[in-house]
């Protein structure tokens, strides 16, 4: 047995009203579960949205999960109009990582996963370039090269969807330098997390760090967010910055930016895999 055996995670969101915490706690208690931790938040003192993350221990959870989920939907979720997700902590999320030529975010995720810092299963790495094949396979992870240019985007996305659909729980864009179409996002069937430098929208396009140096920026940062149809406008999960000054050259900014990018992305992926994130409109609440 492991520490995660028989541990469940219950995430929920609904209109706020009295009695929500009591209803959830009462249901779990009657099911024989022991609540290990409970985090909650209401967006307003009254009339807002209520979100909650509950960690509980229930002997035999794997066998009981289907019935528990069905009963919670019937007895609690329907009554309060809740959106909810019930997961098992012992079942790691299955991920695909998409990457182009830059290796820092990809290798950081694979390294942390191998060390046991990220509880996830990496099903594959998909890239529009072959450059990182050997480095990826050294971690024992399949590498799939799918060329993707503007001229063959439809064919490339179709191949990617064949690999991803119904096969993974999350897609991580670890510096994947292609814009994904709305058709791809609608068809992939799971969330996507992206990482980018936090200069957006001030430094859009090529060579953002060179342009940042030319403007004399004082902070280099990165943002991890869920992907939506609107480019780089999805709900933000995590951000961080590092201070820079006039002594830093373009190469320094690129190096420092890469450090921030991989740290921010790894935290965002960790929180998603631990079911710590609840989306509220175009925002996230991270417990």
Q: 103, 131, 232, 259: which is the annotated catalytic residue?
A: 232
Q: CB 284: neighbour CB atoms within 10 A?
A: 20
240 is known as an active-site residue: no
- Residue 40 near residue 24, CB atoms below 8 Å: no
Distances (CA, A) of 30 to 9, 58, 64, 69, 202: 17, 11, 13, 14, 54
139, HSE (Cβ side, Cα atoms, 13 Å): 22
> Does residue 113 sit in helix, strand or coil?
helix
> Around Cβ 79, how many Cβ atoms within 10 Å?
12
**What residue spans of 116-249 are helical by DSSP H?**
133-137, 153-164, 182-188, 208-215
Q: Hey, which residues are catalytic here?
A: 232
């Amino acid at each position: 047995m492991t520490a995660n055996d028989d541990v469940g995670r219950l995430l929920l969101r609904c209109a706020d009203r009295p009695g929500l915490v009591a209803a959830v706690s009462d249901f779990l208690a009657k099911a024989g579960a022991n609540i290990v931790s409970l985090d909650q938040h209401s967006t307003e003192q009254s009339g807002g949205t209520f979100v909650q993350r509950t960690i509980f221990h229930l002997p035999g959870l794997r066998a009981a999960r289907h019935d528990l989920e069905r009963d919670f939907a019937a007895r609690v979720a329907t009554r309060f109009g809740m959106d909810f997700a019930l997961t098992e902590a012992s079942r790691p999320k299955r991920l695909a990582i998409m990457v182009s030529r830059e290796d820092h975010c990809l290798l950081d995720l694979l390294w942390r996963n191998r060390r046991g810092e990220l509880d996830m299963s990496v099903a594959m790495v998909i890239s529009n370039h072959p450059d990182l094949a050997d480095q990826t396979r050294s971690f024992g992870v399949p590498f799939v090269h799918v060329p993707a240019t503007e001229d063959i985007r439809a064919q490339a996305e179709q191949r990617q969807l064949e690999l991803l659909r119904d096969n993974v729980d999350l897609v991580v864009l670890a510096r994947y330098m292609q814009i994904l179409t709305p058709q791809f996002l609608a068809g992939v069937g799971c969330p996507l997390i992206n990482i980018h430098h936090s200069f957006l929208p001030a430094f859009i396009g090529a060579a953002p760090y060179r342009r940042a140096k030319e403007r004399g920026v004082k902070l280099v940062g990165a943002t991890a967010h869920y992907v939506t149809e609107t480019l780089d406008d999805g709900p933000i999960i995590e951000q961080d910055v590092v201070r820079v000054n006039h002594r830093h050259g373009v190469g320094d900014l690129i190096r420092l930016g890469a450090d921030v990018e991989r740290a921010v992305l790894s935290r965002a992926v960790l929180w998603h895999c631990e079911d710590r994130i609840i989306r509220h409109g175009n925002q996230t609440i991270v417990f």
